A and B are shown apart, each in its own frame.
Chain A
Amino acid sequence: MEMIIQIAAAAMSAGTPLLFAVLGGLLIERSGIIQLGAEGVMLMGAVAAALCCIRTGSPAAALAAALAVGATLGLLHAFLTVSLRVNQIVSGLALTLFGSGLSAFLGRSIAGQPMPGAVPKLDLPFLEPVPAAGDLFAHLDALTWLSFALVIGMHLYLYRTSWGLHLRALGDSPQTADVMGIPVAAFRYGCVIAGTMLIALGGADLLLVYAPAWIEDMTAGRGWIAVALIIFARWNPLRALLAAYFFGALDALGFRIQLIGSDIPSYFLKMIPYVVTILMLMYLGWRNRGKPSGAPESLGVPYIREQRL
């Protein structure tokens, strides 16, 4: 029991950065735009938070910096994909390559420096006597609670509001959405910018809560795993929570096996998340063969008004 709670707690703390990135990516892809820049955006969010936290000492300012960087990168991606209609895959790749280069460049002077501030924890003493829940939820940090709120909020938004219905229509058929009077370009801009801000927040969460300091390329592929988890979550926020925590648990498990001191070299344990991602996608592809994947139907197709299909 002790062990299970420990792993669950570790899964939550490793999974929360992923969860932010998956939710952000999901919002973007629901509007019909592919977002492959997650890796670069997370890195930029993390380095912005690190620089700001060291300068000001305030985690709140660090989060604000990450959000601002996310908004800027989101605007860039939206301008390229929505307005200029460049290939969305290439634009995302450019974001990743540019983000990892620029973050390494900017963060070199502060690499390894510990952060002066921490994200405040919300203490809920009345939960402590409750078994399991007390251990897991009584002293969580504010960002984790924010991620819970986002999951529920995004679920309600997508499936219980008319705006969410509009968003789903937009991703499936922008032509229909346009005829309904939904401003396609503006809506997509909004989704891409908001979603990219969430992904950057994931990077900031990785830095401020999960890892002690900024190091070059600290996301180590988490952005790409988040892209894969969107498929696993079938573009649904509640399933995104499960997917992110499952991967958090894998991360934690590898680390724990290492601590026990097994004979398996740590390099192979570190491979687990990457290999499992591929195997999981293969399993999903095999199980869902011939069935829709749950992806928005117009994902990746630029919208040109009055273009014949």
Chain B
Amino acid sequence: MNGKASAAGTEVGRAGGARRRTAVPRLAIEFDPVSDRVPWWMPIAAVLAALAVCAAFIAANGLDPLAVYRKMLTGAFGTRFGLTETLVKTIPLLLCGVGVAIAYRISFWNIGAEGQFLAGAMAATAVTIYWPDLPAAASLPLMTLAGIAAGGVWGLMTAVPRAYFRVSELISSLMLNYVAMLLLDYFVFGPWRDPGGLNFPGSPMFTASQSLPAFGGTRLHFGLVFAIAAVLLYAFLFRCTRWGYELRLIGSNPEAARNAGIRLNRHLLLVMLASGGLAGLAGMAEVSGVAHRLMYGISPGYGYTAIIVAWIARLHPLGLVVSAFLFGGLIVGGYSVQTIGLPSSTSEMLQGAVLFFVIAGAALGRVRIRRAG
């Protein structure tokens, strides 16, 4: 009991009192009250710990964990194709990750990036369905705008209940994920199903003028530019503009911000418009750049992974790029182990475990042990 519970900041000294005659120095385990710095090696340690825990489950499934991890690593980063695929997965993760990071900056717990992503994907597809013959110069900007707008509106559907009805954004954003998923199913199984698609649940294939250009014959597409622009804009807004300053103020102390005359609700709506818009843009880029159609299961949970990406990056722009790339690799690695009989949920399991160890590591990194006086 006194081992772990003492980390709660109450003194071990009390338990140590009984042991005093053995001359053990009285130690206090405390949290650093001021600094929340995390040692640089903590995220690495967290990933290794998560890999170790998941190794146990993989071994229980009758496979050699080391072989599985090697397969994931080479599948994601070892070949030219794997590396391109990883970058392709990085695009939606980075866009959604920046999106949720903006919301987390003001402690708005948007966990609805999945739904906002799907809304953007559906809106972009709607453009191709209802205006099929537009030239590329008209259809691609229109699809982009539709994706951003739909994602933003989907985000506002979380922000408005929160701002005016005090509805917890956690619940509403998650409920809307399910609504978006069902809406997607309705479209791809119903009115938008490709008549020549042999009952495949997907829309007709996009034409060349509805597809984002790809780089040099690879699957890597123009969405990468969107993603990089989003990160740069995010960094610039928070560092160098008044708006970013106000958002930082709201994030650290909403009461003080309100008293300083900042209109919280207006910022909340704007932030969710941006957050949802970025996820919607990711959805547009995915249908237009990768899948070239709207289809059942278009997202392998990008919106949920983005939450982990943002949290592990500690909302830092550069960190977002690195963690989006790593988790993109994790998704691709998850696909590559399917060939040896593991489900793609292997990577989901790893993602959850990494998040656990990262948050525990961040807390443990603040623990200070000192002699109690």
Contacts and interface: CB of A to CB of B under 8 A. Distances in A.
A158 B313 CA distance: 42
Contact of B182 (A89, A270, A286, A305): A270
Contacts of B4: 79, 83
Contacts of B185: 267
Given A85-B31, A271-B182, A105 B359 contact: no
B266 to A, nearest CB: 19
B364 interface: yes
B340 to A, nearest CB: 14
A76 B167 CA distance: 28
Nearest to A36: B170
Interface stretch (B215-223, B248-256, B273-281, B349-357): B349-357
A137 interface: no
Given A89-B109, A101-B349, A267 B182 contact: yes
A76 B351 CA distance: 17
A285 B10 contact: no
A289 B109 contact: no
B352 A94 contact: yes
Contact of A274 (B61, B176, B347, B351): B176
**Contact residue range for chain A?**
35 or more
Contacts of B346: 105
A228 B174 CA distance: 11
A149 interface: no
Contacts of A126: none
A122 interface: no
B183 interface: yes
A246 to B, nearest CB: 16
B345 A277 contact: no
B167 A281 contact: yes
B111 interface: yes
Interface stretch (B124-132, B233-241, B303-311): B303-311
Contact of B174 (A83, A105, A221, A289): A221
B350 A265 contact: no
Interface of A: 36, 40, 76, 79-80, 82-87, 89-91, 93-95, 97-102, 104-106, 108, 185-186, 189, 216, 220-221, 224-225, 227-228, 231, 265, 267-268, 270-271, 274-275, 277-278, 281-282, 285-286, 289, 293, 304-305
19 contacts: A80-B363, A85-B9, A85-B363, A86-B362, A86-B363, A90-B359, A101-B345, A101-B347, A104-B343, A104-B345, A105-B61, A105-B345, A221-B174, A221-B178, A267-B182, A270-B182, A271-B178, A281-B168, A285-B166
